Chain A
Amino acid sequence: MSPAAQFALGPAALLCVVLGLGCDRRAPPAPSLFPDAPSTSEDAGRTEASPASTPAAGISFDEVAAAWGLAQRHHGGRSTAKWLPETMGGGVGLLDVNRDGALDVLLVDSGALFGQAPPESGHRLYLGDGQGGFRDVTESWDLPPRGYGLGVAAGDVNQDGWVDVFLTTYDGQDRLLLNDGGKRFLDVSQAWGVPSEGWSTSAAFLDIDGDGDLDLYVVRYVAYSPKTAIECWFRSIHIYCTPARYEALPDRLLRNDGDRFTDISESSGVAAHPAKGLAVTTGDIDRDGDTDLYVADDISRNLLLLNDGGVFTEAGVLKGVAYSELGKEEASMGASVTDVNHDGQWDLAVTNFQSEPTSIYVGREGGGFREQSDKLGVGASSRAALSFGVEWLDADNDGDDDLAVANGHISDNVATYRDGVTTAQANSLYRNDGPRGFVDISTSAGVPFTDPAISRGLAVGDLDGDGGLDVVVRNNEGATSVAANRSDRGHWLSLWLEAKDHRATVGALVTAQIGETTLLREVRGGSSYLSVSDSRVHLGLGDATSVDVVVRWPDGTEQAFKGLKADRHLHLTQGGEPTAYTPGAAVIAP
């Protein structure tokens, strides 16, 4: 008998028998009445479910990426070896780099892990004209083609009024790019002390210590190198490895000291919780006036990092947002926060692996959460997809937030061995029907939600200035998707907030009263997966044609704006009067 024949039991069985290792860490245990069919090993806990969509009217989107000049492909450099990072990219940023009020688009590209990336690959920056026209300005803005790119974060890190950019990479080449007066980017990574090792995924800007400048939280994944990684097989099928094989990296917190970052991951408590991080969202989760963090981690517990003067306490387990409602670690990919039910508490949407729901953690008085994806109508259909990017958006401007999700499997050959599961998957759109919960309207919401792709990053913003929130999705090894909002919509108001002296605006809280309903929104420093959505606050007003708004600025001062007329883009400066602007019409000087 050859030595290999001794493995006839199969790797998993062999390990269970010989090594006495735990062979199923899923919890809670399954009921005892199960058929004899064995469960899988390599991807245990990663199975599939069937979709359950319901048609709906009113909300619809058109695919306009090609028409708007934004269809650039993502390049992941997929190889026959199936290296883990190839399945992960990329991200998208919606930001206004030239202060003309029109959203610009930054598409993050990955490239190649080995050898030369294709000449057409590389990050792209497109300037928007505010009406759906975009111009590629990558060359003139000096966007560096460094590293295997994954994600993007945006914020005015040097307080000059121009939004800066942080790019994350798999291969330790993260970049901080300062915006030079709306004309180009300057790579200041070295001068600012941006660390240069390890696999970064998402990032978020926030002011951790209330000093007015933006600090930076960088989510990190696993210790991995194709040079030492092993190829993976599942029952003789070559597959992408599970991250369970690799050691988790701790996230990083970089304090802004004016002209450089100082790594305070240890002293802030952040480094004490290494997990396989993929996404981060900011918010004053415990409503104590500062900005907290929620981090979505792959096959690890998710983190709720509560801020207390720049030191963070992890409270995910206690508050019920670390695991599934029944205590299972999930493979979380993306996160987004809003007040979905107008009760004044923040609620979270967290995307997960195939067969796991997109979790909806509903906030309660006292700071705890209950996961209610099934009760709210999201659970069953979301289990049928593997989900990454996620954002709350009021697609029909009726005053409550709907939910957009980017889907796509990580295994490029899953259809050959798993019935009913495909690599390319259609994205999801859930309409918020208030107390009745959510309805999956993906099949009736237009091509962007019916055409399958391997979707990853997702960001939301009003690209054409028409008062409807559009959705941009970055597809792995595919063309970018731009979903232009064509829904029957209510009235709206878009608020561009700027704090005094260009102090940080992340964390500014907006309260709008519409009849009995209180809309609560916060300026986010990060969200979704590898992506950053427009930082302007968008209010869906329904039938209301004017609204009273109160802004609580990050320094704690409150400012009331009475009778703001609907259907306008407004620039609100701390202590100043609101000014209406037309996106793309003119530069609004800092």
Chain B
Amino acid sequence: MVLLGSCQGGPAQPALDDPAPEALAPVLASPPVPTASERSRIAALGARFSDTHCDTESLGELRELRARLGPRPVKDALIQAYGTCGGDSALADLAAETLSEPPATADLLRLGALYIRADRFEEAAAVLVPIADSPGGASQAQWLAGFALLHGGDPARALPMLSAGRAHASGPGLSEGPMLMGLAHLQLGDPAEAVRLLKQAVALDGENPTIVSALARALDDAGDREAAAEAAGLVQALHRRLAEKERAQKTVAGLVASLERAWAAEHDAEVLRIVERMWPFAPALRPTLLEYRIVALSRLQRHPEADAARAQLETVRGQR
């Protein structure tokens, strides 16, 4: 792998049984340089992706352009596309394919982070550990390398890196630092140290079910069954609360999408039905929902109800 070759001190040497250079000519041939109209087309395609719209047709066209021109000319547009449509793994692949030669350390760090985000921890560790291990390795690289190693199932190697890089942890009060180190100790069979660190993490972020569940397991391992059971109960309550929140969020998000479609199609009866469904879930959106209701009722010639909605809107606005 070229990337690893460079990380480990220069490009990989050809093996003895590599094919003759001429056989590689078609592979190594530079991709065609995009024309001005292709560049403009690529930019236009990239602009079609927004927070609300994943344009699958444009993505398909970008894939074709990538196949023809190589990844570099379409990189920015694809980042836009993957950012909208999802595709953390594709984003990491794109970053790996478009690394400069030799790659800058900052780009490798970014690539490692992208691999982590795509849950590709082995590849993340392969990129990040050499940076973290290098003389004067950045503590950010150490943190990320530790993160990747721990998630990849190697707590022993992860622990010193997490410790050295903990200033880069996230979460309230950098709570992720003691949390991950506690988890590493738990995996390494040191529940007492795990409990100590995880209690630190809980003190910083007691609402994080990940931290509390780790503490519950550590307490159980340490033999403190009563405290473990209490922590386990708290974890369940936290997850229940989060699930409720998520359910509300997903429900309203889905209804918003349905409302947009019904509105665009001028299906006013459907608009009214969706507004009705959204009402209890989204108190903060009620003025907007009332505007929908007023317009839909007016278009349906249900004027008295529209007037009532207008009055209700005035009241709601007055309350705010």
A→B interface (CB under 8 Å): 2-4, 6-15, 18-19, 21-23, 25, 27-43, 47-50, 52, 230-237, 241-242, 244-248, 299-301, 317-320, 322-323, 325-329, 355-356, 368, 370, 372-376, 379-380, 383, 413, 416-420
Contact = CB atoms under 8 A, between A and B. Distances in A.
Contacts of A49: 89, 118-120
B54 A22 contact: no
Closest 7 pairs between A and B when the two form their complex, measured CB to CB: A374-B153, A327-B210, A10-B51, A37-B83, A419-B90, A375-B153, A40-B86
Interface of B: 50-56, 59-60, 63, 79, 82-91, 93, 95, 109-110, 113-114, 116-123, 140, 143-144, 147, 150-154, 168-171, 176, 179-180, 183, 187, 208-211, 213-214, 216-217, 220-221, 228-229, 232, 235-236, 239, 242-243, 245-261, 263-264, 277, 282, 284-285, 288, 291-292, 295
B63 A7 contact: no
8 contacts: A10-B50, A35-B110, A38-B51, A49-B118, A368-B221, A379-B152, A380-B121, A416-B59
Contact of A11 (B85, B210, B253, B284): B253
B183 to A, nearest CB: 6
A29 B170 contact: yes
B250 to A, nearest CB: 4
Contact of B118 (A2, A36, A48): A48
A49 B250 CA distance: 25
Given A40-B85, A326-B210, 17 more contacts: A11-B257, A22-B242, A30-B116, A30-B117, A48-B88, A50-B93, A230-B258, A232-B257, A234-B86, A235-B52, A244-B250, A317-B236, A326-B183, A379-B122, A380-B121, A413-B56, A418-B87
Contacts of B277: 230
A234 B144 CA distance: 30
B89 A47 contact: yes
Contact of A417 (B59, B151, B253): B59
A549 to B, nearest CB: 34
Contacts of B113: 31, 33-35
A237 B211 contact: no
B213 A8 contact: no
Contact of A368 (B55, B152, B217, B248): B217
Contacts of B55: 236
Contacts of B122: 52, 374, 379-380
A100 B320 CA distance: 76
A247 B247 CA distance: 8
B258 to A, nearest CB: 6
A47 B118 contact: yes
Given A317-B213, A416-B60, A15 B86 contact: no
Nearest to B285: A18
A300 B119 contact: no
B63 A419 contact: yes
Contacts of A376: 153
Contacts of A301: 236, 239
A19 B285 CA distance: 8
A14 B120 contact: no
Contacts of B232: 317-318
A511 B91 CA distance: 50
Contact of B211 (A248, A327, A374, A420): A327
A53 B259 CA distance: 45
B151 A374 contact: yes
Nearest to B251: A245
Given A34-B117, A237-B54, A326-B210, A418 B217 contact: no
Contacts of A48: 87-90, 118
Contacts of A15: 249, 252-253, 256
B252 A7 contact: no
Contact of B119 (A9, A21, A232, A355): A355
A37 B79 contact: yes
B85 A417 contact: yes
Contacts of B123: 50
Choose among A41, A42, A48 the residue with the greatest number of B CB atoms under 10 Å from its CB. A48
A279 to B, nearest CB: 19
Given A23-B249, A31-B147, A230-B255, A417 B86 contact: yes
B56 A417 contact: yes
Nearest to A245: B250
